[in-house]
Structure 1
Amino acid sequence: MGPDRRHRPHPCNTPAHDGSPLMTAVQTDADPDRDRRRSDLSPPPASVAQRRLLHHPVEVQAYEISSGLTGVGLWCCRTSDLDPAVLAEPERLGLFGDDDLRRCRRYHFDRDRHLFIAAHLLLRCVLSRYEPIEPADWRFAANPYGRPEIADPAISRRLRFNLSHAAGLALVGVAREGEVGVDVECADRHADAAGIARHAFSDSERRFLQSLPAEESRLAFLRSWTLKEAYAKARGIGLSLPFRDMEFQYGPDARIAMRLGEGIADRADRWRFEQFSLFDRHIGAVALGTPVPAG
């Protein structure tokens, strides 16, 4: 007699509104290839191309991510790709203002300080690919909810960007029209998923996570969490949004759809999403919203 075959919703697909899964996957208890199963649960790997963003006073290499979303540019870099001398003495670049340097010095651990340097160096260099502005000349200011935006040069204020970083990797998204948000998490992160889900996930999302084996539940949690973060950051109001009122569904064509509850005043159909893995270690997500029509 063959092994007992059980049908379960794919761990990366939240249930549809009527409670039925959008897709199902057949798995067997006898399947020994856990690495292959885990790869099936992960987002598709991003296609990246290495680019030189700066050559003086030092060379800065980064990666341009090929996105399926029209209207957004995605870039990333790893602290391991940067000159250790730059990470040790960011002042020598002449690109950072006094405020950036003060924030940098607040970090107690080298890994956190180096990631801050890499992320903000990447941001300045990437923005200068979209406007004829020197990397050192960008000035930023935080909105009332803390999201950084371009303050100067004034001609570039319509350029939108968002920044995220985790475990040695920085991710930047840039758009000329609409709103953009990005989030990146280490795929090996072992967060208090159950505790976060109690406050940030809907009842149906929590039931879905609880129905999965531990490792699959953790990956499904990270996929949903990065999408929620990307959307909230694109809105520019961060954690003030009720995260329980947003859910994500994965269709058979790999498209990601969002459902919004009554607690969020927005139109879900004006948003597009993409998710990907980077360097076999990180999960990234981007949210791109079309402008809200006037009136």
Structure 2
Amino acid sequence: MTYDQVPAKVAEHLRDDEIHVWRMAYDHRQGRAPFQAVLAAYLGRGIEDVHLEAGEFGRPRLAGAEAGALHFNWSHSGDQALCAVARGIEPGVDLERLRPRPRALEIAERYFSHEETAALAALAPARRDAAFLQLWTAKEAVLKATGRGLAFGLHRLGITDEDERLALRFLDGELPAHWQLHRLALDGDHVGSIAWRGAARTIQLRTLAPAAG
């Protein structure tokens, strides 16, 4: 599957106070190609000129002459993916497809805080799966933004999800006030979150359509 190119006027106008999040259909056989195509549009280069390398904890980053020009993160679940692009901050983004989670409380008891688990247990079963995945994606988004990922430990940060608002309650070694954390408005079948360390920014959520033919 190929994609219509990210509009040049959009890529050229990625402001320092914005984060662009692209949503796209995805096939795991594509690997990194769709995400490299997005980065190529922002860099004004061909996809063959976008070179990536692994950071200290394995997080992909731009290599070569473009190192540090953009910061990005991606996530995919099933046949959907998200790619977040920003300047000057490291975004973390996570996506999950909604599906039954019969072991949600069991997993929460093992990896989440007592407060998070209690909040999930207090919900009606019909609401619990979405709430569990919202917490999960929020935790992953923060951990990805730190550059460490899940290896850092889900138990080392706490999230509250109240009145449709996510908040970072604690994060080992850091001040929650230095962080931004938001749910992404996707659809009734997917849950997503985005996080970054730094000042508030405007999130521009856009859809990248498959190319015709």
Shorter-chain TM-score tier: 0.7 to 0.9
Alignment of 1:1-295 (within 5 A): 52-53=4-5, 70-79=17-26, 114-117=27-30, 120-152=32-64, 154-190=65-101, 192-250=103-161, 252=163, 254-261=164-171, 264-290=172-198
Distance in structure 1 (CA, Å) of the matches to 2:145 and 2:98? 22
Taking every aligned residue pair, what percent have the same amino acid on both sides?
29
Deviations 1:157-188 (A, max 9, x none): 24111110001001101111111000000012
Moved over 4 A (4+): none
Q: 1:188 to 1:230 in 2, by over 3 A?
A: same
Aligned to 1:12: none
Give RMSD over aligned pairs: 2.6
Relative to the length of structure 1, the TM-score reads 0.58
Q: Is the 8 A contact 2:99 2:129 kept in 1?
A: no
Q: Which secondary structure state, in structure 2, belongs to the residue aligned with residue 220 of structure 1? A: helix
**Quick check: which has more Rg, 1 or 2?**
1
Check the 8 A contact 1:115/1:169 in 2, yes or no. Answer: no
Cα deviation for residue 116 of structure 1 reads 4.2
Distance 1:267 1:160, change over 3 A: same
Q: TM-score, normalised by structure 2?
A: 0.78
Structure 1 alignment gaps of length 5 or more: 1-50, 56-63, 80-113
- Aligned partners of 2:109, 2:160: CA distance in 1, in Å? 19
Go from structure 1 to structure 2 and tell me whether the alpha carbon gap of 1:221 and 1:54 turns closer, same or farther (over 3 Å shift): closer
Gaps in structure 2 of 5+ consecutive residues: 200-213
Cα distance in 2 for partners of 1:271, 1:122 equals: 28
Deviation (angstroms), 1:277: 4.1
- Is the Cα contact below 8 Å between 1:72 and 1:288 reproduced in 2? no
| Equivalences, count | 190
- C-alpha displacement of 1:241: 2.1
